[in-house]
């Protein structure tokens, strides 16, 4: 079984209030020297069988239509061939 990983991040120009909150907590906990925190989403998609070019293209389509909103987010996709 192959796994496709999709990492979604807000575009750099879009404010990330959740990242800001985490950044604030870093400071309160004494983790110094942190300039910025941005929070994203990671999707681990396990396929039945191999990650053929066709199947990965399907997942890319799912990322474009569902997992990421291109108005505010970018994503990267990679295949992990386990076992």
Partner 1 sequence: MKIGVVTFPGSLDDADARRAAAVAGAEAVALWHGDEDLHGVDAVVLPGGFSYGDYLRAGAISRFAPVMETIIKRAGEGMPVLGICNGFQVLCESHLLPGALIKNHHRKFVCKDQALRIENNSTAWTSDYDANHEITIVLKNQDGSFVADEATLDRLEGEGRVVARYLGNPNGSYRDIAGITNERGNVVGLMPHPEHAVETLTGPTTDGLGFFTSVLKAVVPS
Name which of 78, 77, 70 is nearest 10 in CA terms. 70
Q: Which is nearer to partner 1, 18 or 52 (CB)?
A: 18
Computed from CA positions of residues 67, 64, 18, 39, in that sequence, does the dihedral angle turn out positive or negative?
A: positive
The residue (of 17 and 49) whose beta carbon lies closer to partner 1 is 17
Span from 11-19, 27-35, 53-61, 75-83 in contact with partner 1 (CB under 8 A): 11-19
| Binding status of residue 67 toward partner 1 by CB under 8 A | yes
CB of 14 to partner 1, least distance (A): 6
């Amino acid at each position: 079984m192959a796994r496709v990983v999709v990492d979604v991040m807000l575009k750099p120009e879009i404010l990330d209030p959740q990242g800001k909150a985490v950044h604030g907590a870093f400071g309160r906990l004494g983790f110094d020297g942190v300039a910025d925190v941005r929070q994203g989403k990671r999707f681990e998609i396990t396929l039945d069988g191999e990650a053929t070019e066709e199947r990965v293209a399907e997942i890319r389509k799912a990322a474009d239509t569902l997992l990421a909103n291109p108005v505010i987010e970018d994503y990267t996709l990679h295949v992990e061939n386990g076992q």
